[in-house]
Structure 1
Amino acid sequence: MPIARAARRTAVRLGALALTGALLAACGSSPDSPSSDSAGGKVTITVDLFGSFGYKEAGLYEEYEKLHPGVTIKQTDTEDEADYWKSLQTRLAGGGGLADVQGVEVGRIASVTQQQSDRFEDLRKYGADRLEGQFAEAKWAAATGRNGEVLGLGTDVGPEAMCYRTDLFRRAGLPTDREELARRWATWDGYLELGRQYKAKAPGRSAWLDSVGSLYSIMIGQQKERYYDASGKLIWENNPALREAWDHAVEAAEDGLSARLDQWSPQWNQAFAGGSFATIPCPAWMLGYIKGQAGEAGKGTWDIARLPGGAGNWGGSYLSVPKAAKHKKEAYELIAWLTAPEQQAKLFRKQGNFPSATGAIDQVADAKDPYFSNAPIGRIFGEAAKAAPVQVLGPHDQNIAQQITNALSEVERKGVSSEQAWSNARKGVENTLG
């Protein structure tokens, strides 16, 4: 989701929570007893998310409510994860306005486990430790605190591919076969060269890709170490892999290959239906987002091919229960059901969110998506998920990434030089981290 979703989803998702002992006492009951406002067997579970998790769209809430008479699920969501996280931190500090379930983006999960573990429920008290075997090892470990606390259950992961508009490719005289394209853009240099060819014959006013920020995000998602090393040391400024992603994004901006759209903005959303760009680097969770924005008219005009430069991961999320939740036990039961292999498999087939539950991955290996020209999404994203590196996560990954993409936007939209934009990114990171 979203991302953006990060997912995104991003593009591209995260959360954490805090309160005092007095407030906890005021919230009421022990973990195994119903809270005061669930009398009569009726309870409303509140869920606060960002981007596109897809539960409502896939009918999973409705299914859960039928299986659990008396339970009503009420979801609120924020499109932009950065806005969501900022609002969540404000509510955590004040101790009020928190949902029973809060979404947490993978780029923030280290902040939860390393800095805010006292603000989340340790889900082991509800039996979460029995679920460890159903998740990919890296997904489970990332939400585990220093003392073994289970602070969230994994939803999806974000294996990466390239989504593209076959109708625009044809009009520009480019091939549309996904296997041929995968060979043509086996490297990022090949991808940008094909973009220059597209620009020379681009139909209408369409661009090669949506934004250089999405190019940077997808490239950095191919790296094991991005902003921190395994010891927890900040390395982003001297990381050659990060500079390579930066340089390619700058090159795309300077060559005029971008539609210069801010991801998650209203203009970006409208561009999916308007044909403003021909390609978009897409983690699996973005498929549902594209469908929602492009609508029924976009069916069959999109396809998916392997990503340039090898496999990577961008995004993926967790569902957590804050200490301030009114219905902790019921919230845990809901998130355990939503993240079970059967539900993750359903979600992928309907929305494209790739499972983090190992049993679900096997179930979706043969999945195809009619919306995306019957692309074999189970195979494409499954292979990417298996080959993607296990990423080193740090407490401020998402904040650093935001400052870098902000700086790249200055290159893209204002013509700021790469050197000046890098300096601005450095200052932004320093101010953010204090």
Structure 2
Amino acid sequence: MPTARAAGRTAGAAGKAAVRLGAVALAGVLLAACGGSPDGASDSAGGEVTLTVDLFGSFGYQESGLYAEYEKLHPGVTIKQTDTEDEADYWKSLQTRLAGGGGLADVQAVEVGRIASVAQQQADRFEDLRKHGADKLKSQFPEAKWTAATGKNGEVLGLGTDVGPEAMCYRSDLLAAAGLPTDREELARKWSTWDGYLDLGRQYKAKAPAKSAWLDSVGSLYSVMIGQQKERYYDASGKLIWDTNPALKTAWDTSVTAAHDGLSAKLDQWSPQWNQAFTAGSFATLPCPAWMLGYIKGQAGDAGKGKWDIAKLPGGAGNWGGSYLTVPRAAKHKKEAYELIAWLTAPAQQARLFQKQGSFPSATAAIGQIAGATDPYFSGAPIGSIFGDAAKAAPVQVLGVHDQSVAQQITNALGEVERKGTDPEAAWANARKGVENTIG
């Protein structure tokens, strides 16, 4: 979900949809059951266990019935989930609890923009999952997804949940009302570039239904554009380059243009007003990584079914978001927590989550299982191929310790341009100051 997914992505009801995988899911359960801790020991000596899971937004585990299934397969285990809508708030709280050593859940989610901080700076605060057999799972994941959560001494600090291949979600009814094409293939051709996307936005603005803008916010436009780059905030050597990166400046300038042209609904993503806008038809397009599908379903509800569709993203493939499940060193039930996250991130469960919730799998075996998936909520869009193709073509991104913090300062500054009319140069200076104050 989750930037929202995500996840700033964090996704409130990160949902997604289509075919059922009964036999495959059962096979995954059996495989995952074989992948537990080798010694079979239990933190709670075989008694009843309540596992606490703390997430940002909803990862879809509860909504898709995975918790209930796991509890049925493991009598005596009860799963209790808490979540925070905004990932930035979640991370701040997690840092406070990690520093104090108390109040931590058995399972804590970590967004991909934070995983370098865990691996490079906080490995001593998280369980090395090799103790429980995680090294046997390495072949399930792409090398980049696995190594991002690997500490300096080889510690395995988290298991990958989803990745965030990007597309463009749109309201076909609103586009039709403005006299624009609604066919996903035609739209993909017309907005093959970001300039083409903005041109269509200007056409939409000229004939748009009342109180409806082209896109939700320029912050979401920036986030999806920067997700198309290999190097964003850091280079491969670990040097902070955000303020000299020409690709980032292009994403900034394009977002500023969209703001100045009045193409945005000026909504702060993840805010109550943004959530309400899904039912009000306040915007016609929404840059959407795969995990956003479930968020749309959760906010737009049944009334939105068939009104939404999905097309390929302007400017090529990219990735926005994706997450990991970790076990804090201070967790009460570390072994049982590991067994749960190993099962939740197994290929069968990841494939099922995509079918139900839209979280695109990071487990390689799951990707082939969902290749033909379609989603009736999104007008039958071939979500398996759209997001699958995007995942294959997306660059392997360089991850830095403060990726998410830098991104937050930039989107905050774009919000000033969008909502307050702040001069872009002044807003850029504010972003620079914010980065300096946040990361030193």
Q: Which of the residues 358, 361, 369 maps onto 1:355?
A: 361
Distance 1:140-1:408 versus aligned 2 partners, 3 A rule: same
Change (3 A) 1:10 1:65: closer
Equivalences, count: 414
Which residue of the other structure, out of 34, 40, 54, is the alignment partner of 2:42? Answer: 34
Q: What is the letter of the counterpart of residue 436 of structure 2?
A: E
What does residue 374 of structure 2 align with? 368
SS at match of 1:374: coil
TM alignment of 1:17-416, pairs within 5 A: 33-35=41-43, 38=44, 41-416=47-422
Q: What's the CA shift for 1:247?
A: 0.2
Question: What SS does structure 2 have at the residue aligned with 1:257?
Answer: coil
Deviation, 1:202, is 0.5
Structure 1 position 273, deviation (Å) = 1.0
> SS of the residue aligned with 1:41?
coil
Q: Following the alignment from structure 1 to structure 2, what is the Cα–Cα distance between the partners of residues 233 and 56?
A: 39
Give the superposition deviation at 1:301. Answer: 0.3
Name the SS of the counterpart of 2:315 in structure 1: coil
- State the 4+ residue runs in structure 1 displaced beyond 3 angstroms: 31-35
User: Under a length normalisation based on structure 1, what TM-score does the superposition of the two structures give?
Assistant: 0.94
Q: Deviations over 1:316-372 (max 9, x none)?
A: 000000000000000000000000000000000000000000000000000000000
Q: RMSD in angstroms over aligned alpha carbons?
A: 1.2
Offset of 1:2 from its aligned partner? Answer: 2.1
TM-superposition CA deviations, 1:100-150 (whole Å, max 9, x none): 000000000000000001110000010000000011111111111111110
Q: Determine the C-alpha separation between the residues in 1 that align with 2:285 and 2:405.
A: 26
Return the offset for 1:52.
2.5
Q: Which residue of 2 aligns with 1:6?
A: 6
SS in 2 for 1:381: helix
Tell me, what secondary structure is at the counterpart of 2:416?
A: helix
CA displacement at 1:32 relative to structure 2: 6.5
What is the rounded CA distance, in whole Å, between the counterparts of 1:166 and 1:215 in structure 2? 19
Question: What TM-score, normalized to structure 2?
Answer: 0.93
Query: Would the aligned equivalents of 2:11 and 2:294 in 1 still touch at CA under 8 Å?
Result: no
1:271 aligns to what SS in structure 2? Answer: helix
Q: Percent identity?
A: 83
What do the CA deviations read for 1:216-240 (whole angstroms, capped 9, x no partner)? 0000000000000000000000000
Distance in 2, matches of 1:373 and 1:41, equals 48
Q: Judge conservation of contact 2:3–2:320 (CA < 8 Å) in 1.
A: no
Given that residues 169 and 309 in structure 2 are in contact (C-alpha distance below 8 angstroms), is that contact kept between their aligned partners in structure 1?
Answer: yes
Measure the CA separation in 1 of the matches of 2:89 and 2:40.
33
Gap regions ≥5 residues in structure 2: 13-38
Helix, strand or coil at the partner of 2:197? helix
The answer as to whether partners of 1:8 and 1:286 remain within 8 angstroms in 2 is no
In structure 2, what residue type is equivalent to 1:217? S
Give, in angstroms, the shift of residue 8 of structure 1: 4.5
Structure 1, unpaired ranges of 5+: 13-30
SS in 1 for 2:392: helix
Q: Which string of whole-angstrom CA distances, capped at 9 and with x for unpartnered residues, describes residues 58-84 of structure 1?
A: 110011001001100000000100000
Matched residue, 2:15: none
The letter of the residue matching 2:211 is R
Shift of 1:10: 4.5
- Distance in 2 (CA, whole Å) between partners of 1:363 and 1:76 is 30
